[in-house]
Amino acid sequence: MDGFVVKRSAEERGGDGKRPRLEEAAGGPPRSSQPRQEIRAQGLSLEYRLLFGRAEADAIFQQLEKDVEYFEGVTFSPKPWIPVLIHIRERLALDTGHTFNFVLINRYKDGEDHIGEHRDDEKELVPRSPIASVSFGACRDFVFRHCDSRGKNATRRIKPVKLQLAHGSLLMMKYPTNVYWYHSLPIRRRVLAPRINLTFRKMMAVDKK
């Protein structure tokens, strides 16, 4: 799978998905000075931090707006890696020690665009591998809900875990989070600005016969 990227639009997105403008990347505060937050609950293992300083995050956001073409609905047509995605992937490798061979990109035009509760449990994922979620643009709420505490048939009362994913942030979702916890990006009508999220994953090599 290495060398490809899949681009996908956010659920119920609108707009034309393009904003051509390019800014020079600039240095932000050193990454080592950014505090890391460990978030743990039963079966939940997350790590949150700012990965990019403000100026660099702004530049990456503009570059993504310029270079990434979005599709309505879901597409599994893989595309070659482009420089801005390689840049983020390399920073992730430096910062986390993990290498990723796949990225799924969602663009939310504003707070109306959202993604419903789901788990990232595709059978093609390398078992127990972490997922790195990198966000740019509008800060949005992100909610985790335990599988036993969802809906009318809930068997346990486990408090949802709510985070805010800021511009330039990284959320590492580590094993076994996606076994037990669903996540969602709820509607937030007060949010008027766009947001781009990239989830970097480790996919198993496809056996070409």
CA distances from 65 to 18, 20, 158 (A): 5, 6, 38
Q: Closest-CB residue for Mn ion?
A: 120
| 48 phi and psi angles, rounded to 5 deg | -125, 140
146 annotated to bind ligand: no
Neighbours of 28 (CB within 10 A): 19
User: Which C-beta is closer to Mn ion: that of 120 or that of 148?
Assistant: 120
Q: Please tell me whether 167 is known to bind a ligand.
A: no
Please say which residue, 63 or 135, places its beta carbon nearer to Mn ion: 135
Is residue 177 a contact residue for ligand AKG (CB under 6 A)? no
Report if residue 106 touches ligand AKG, rule: CB under 6 A. Answer: yes
* Exposure of 88 in the CB half-sphere (CA atoms within 13 A): 34
Which of 120, 125, 126, 187 binds ligand AKG (CB under 6 A)? It is 120
Q: End-to-end alpha-carbon separation of the chain, Å? A: 15
Nearer Cβ to ligand AKG (30/45): 45
Question: Which listed residue (142, 144, 181, 182) binds ligand AKG by CB under 6 A?
Answer: 142
Shortest distance, CB of residue 24 to Mn ion, whole angstroms?
Answer: 32
Q: Does position 148 bind Mn ion by CB under 5 A?
A: no
Per CB under 5 A, which of residues 81..120 are in contact with Mn ion? 120
Cβ–Cβ < 8 Å for 118, 13: no
Q: Are 196 and 85 in contact (CB under 8 A)?
A: no
Q: Does 185 bind ligand AKG (CB under 6 A)?
A: yes
Q: Are strands 44-50 and 131-137 parallel, antiparallel or unpaired?
A: unpaired
Measured in whole angstroms, the distance separating CA 72 from the mean position of its chain's CA atoms is 18
Torsion sign (Cα): 99, 182, 144, 13: positive
Instruction: Compute the residue count for the chain.
Output: 209
Residue 201 marked in a binding site: yes
Minimum distance from residue 14 beta carbon to ligand AKG (Å):
16
| Binding site residue list | 106, 108, 118, 121, 183, 195, 199, 201
Binding site for ligand AKG (CB under 6 A): 104, 106, 115, 120, 133, 135, 142, 165, 183, 185, 197, 199
